Amino acid sequence: MILVNVKENESLDKAIKKFKKKFEKTGVVRELRERQAFTKPSIKRRQQIIKASYKQTLQSKEN
C-alpha cells in the first residue's frame, strides 16, 4: 500500500505528483508490461548482450 503524507498547505496536484512518483518506483506497471507477452530466455539473453555491447560502444566513443 502506498501512503502519501499531505502537509497542511500542500496542493492536491503536489500530492498526486508524489503518489505517481512512489507508484512508478514500485515497478508495478513495468512488471505488468513484461508479463503481457512471454519471451524465451534465449531471446532475453540475446537482448541483454546487444544492449551491453551498445552501452560499451557508447562508453568507448566517450573516452
- Give per-residue pLDDT as tens, 5-57: 998 999 999 999 999 999 999 999 999 999 999 999 999 999 999 999 999 99
- DSSP letter string, 8-52: TT--HHHHHHHHHHHHHHHTHHHHHHHHHS---HHHHHHHHHHHH
pLDDT score, position 1: 87
The pTM of the whole model exceeds 0.85: no
Q: Dig out the grid coordinates for 17 from the structure.
A: 505528483
Q: Is the pLDDT of residue 62 over 90?
A: no
Residues 6+ apart with CB under 8 A from 56: none
